[in-house]
Amino acid sequence: MKNAPLPLKNLIRKPGRTTALVLLTAFLALAVFGGSVIILSLRTGLRSLEARLGADIILVPSEAQSKISFQNMFLQGTTGAFYMDAAVTDKAMGVPGVEKTAPQTFLASLKADCCSVKIQVIGIDPEKDFTVQPWIARSLTGELGDMDVVTGCRVEAGIGEIIRIYDQRCKVVARLEPTGTGLDTAVYCNMGTMNTLLAAAEAKGVSHKISSGDDSVVSAVYVKVKDGYDIDTVNSALTGKLRKVTAVRTRSMITGVSDSLAGISRTVTTMVIVIWALALIILMLAYILIVRERSREFAVLRLIGASGNMLGRMALTESAVCGLAGGLVGTGLAAIGVFSFSALIESSLGLPYLLPDPGTLLLLAAGTVILSAAVSALASAFAAWRLSRVNPGTALREGN
């Protein structure tokens, strides 16, 4: 401490003043880091949803939209099921412009003794699937065998554990990476397992049979359109050819989410800007008042030979150190808040929400800290300029 530079001594030996400045800057950093993480998480979530859907068009039974909000199923993990004839998969392949199709069958487990957890079970055909299979392949090296399941990251079951679905024992063989969407609460299995589960559910009174009485059903068919084909045209062709089936463009789903995201982004950005503007004004006023309060101290320094620039540098250094400390505190607090309550934020926003990768977060944190130090120094710049012009004789006489 004895040999510490003067600005540091000034900060340490005036703890009240220093704490106030640090807290003010911390508030600023908290708003920036917290706001930025939320916006980035929403964007990352949207990208993840786009990637996970992986299809241009989704075919669902016509009554699906009235039974359950298709969007909520993907975004919030609402469970539900609807069925149509499995032949839709092959029929869709016959439509010009369709490159590939992938069926999925849904089954909602019950909150009852027969089921460990209430979840959405999704059956896929690993050979045909181009939507979930690439993600499963990242987590599972082997094949997805019968009565094996892959869980979303938010299903509370570890690898190797057994979960019961309609009294059927399914083994968790892998867990998927987070998507920030409702898909994180789903469980995936192959069609063989799904047929077993559908039969078990039927036995419990949960029917999957369609009006034709056919047992071979799917819930949705994901369609990839060939390059060079207009997706809307293919969409119309599919709607025309397939009865009692609705073709939904994935982009229209994404657009809704994207619009909500843009709205939230705008709100958060506006709030951050307002907080920054207010904090900047408060900081500037605080520094001006501090300089006035310290005018005698600065006059003494001038008296013993400190130049105006030296005093200016000293004031800038002090404010930058306060800004740096405030940046660290604010970013730390924001990180604790945003990471601890990410599930709550996600559920209250009702949008795909996925934290960016650690590298991006670190970069953002470093940027926020540097920005806080720079803004703090900027806020004190006017005060520092006034300091550089202080006349020791006058200042000492005024402070006498």
Binding window for another protein (CB under 8 A); candidates: 86-94, 106-114, 342-350, 385-393? 385-393
Residue 397 touches another protein, criterion: CB under 8 A: yes
Shortest separation between residue 42's beta carbon and another protein, angstroms: 46
What number of residues does the chain have? 400
Shortest separation between residue 274's beta carbon and another protein, angstroms: 35
Touching another protein, residues 266-305 (CB under 8 A) = 296-297, 299-305
- Torsion angles phi and psi, residue 61, rounded to 5: -60, 150
176 or 314: CB nearest another protein:
314
Q: Both tokens of residue 273?
A: 């800007």
CB 34 within 8 Å of CB 269: no
Binding window for another protein (CB under 8 A); candidates: 138-146, 191-199, 306-314, 352-360? 306-314
11 or 81: CB nearest another protein:
11
**Runs of H (alpha helix) within 94-230:** 133-139, 191-203
Touching another protein, residues 101-140 (CB under 8 A) = none
Shortest separation between residue 294's beta carbon and another protein, angstroms: 9
Residue 399 touches another protein, criterion: CB under 8 A: yes
Residue 392 touches another protein, criterion: CB under 8 A: yes
180 or 312: CB nearest another protein:
312
Shortest separation between residue 374's beta carbon and another protein, angstroms: 25
Round to whole Å and give the CA distance between 377 and 8: 15
Round to whole Å and give the CA distance between 102 and 115: 27
Residue 348 touches another protein, criterion: CB under 8 A: no
Binding window for another protein (CB under 8 A); candidates: 136-144, 262-270, 280-288, 384-392? 384-392
15 or 263: CB nearest another protein:
15
Binding window for another protein (CB under 8 A); candidates: 7-15, 136-144, 237-245, 259-267? 7-15
| Biggest CA-to-CA distance, the chain | 100
What are the b/e assignments for 60-77, b being 16+ CB within 10 Å? Answer: bbeebeeebebbebbbbb
Q: Coil, strand, or helix at residue 151?
A: strand
Residue 22 touches another protein, criterion: CB under 8 A: no
207 or 309: CB nearest another protein:
309
259 or 293: CB nearest another protein:
293
Residue 16 touches another protein, criterion: CB under 8 A: no
Question: Comparing C-alpha atoms, which of 80, 61, 259 is closest to residue 185?
Answer: 80
Shortest separation between residue 373's beta carbon and another protein, angstroms: 21
140 or 387: CB nearest another protein:
387
* CA quadruple 177, 198, 113, 152: dihedral, nearest 10: 0
Binding window for another protein (CB under 8 A); candidates: 190-198, 246-254, 360-368, 391-399? 391-399
Residue 306 touches another protein, criterion: CB under 8 A: yes
Touching another protein, residues 308-347 (CB under 8 A) = 308-310
13 or 204: CB nearest another protein:
13
Residue 20 touches another protein, criterion: CB under 8 A: no
Question: Comparing C-alpha atoms, which of 109, 119, 107, 126 is closest to residue 209?
Answer: 107
- CB neighbourhood size of 389 (10 A): 9
The residue behind tokens 């300029």 is 385
Residue 307 touches another protein, criterion: CB under 8 A: yes
Q: Coil, strand, or helix at residue 18?
A: helix
Residue 100 touches another protein, criterion: CB under 8 A: no
Question: Comparing C-alpha atoms, which of 84, 104, 256, 259 is closest to residue 187?
Answer: 104
Residue 6 touches another protein, criterion: CB under 8 A: yes
User: Cβ neighbours of residue 47 under 8 Å, at least 6 residues apart?
Assistant: none
Shortest separation between residue 13's beta carbon and another protein, angstroms: 4
Query: What angle in degrees, to the nearest 10, is found between the helix axes of 308-340 and 295-303?
Result: 140
* CA quadruple 324, 329, 330, 336: dihedral, nearest 10: 140
Query: What angle in degrees, to the nearest 10, is found between the helix axes of 308-340 and 358-379?
Result: 150
Count of residues near another protein by CB under 8 A: 29
Q: Which residues bind another protein (CB under 8 A)?
A: 2, 6, 9-10, 13-14, 296-297, 299-310, 388, 391-394, 396-397, 399-400
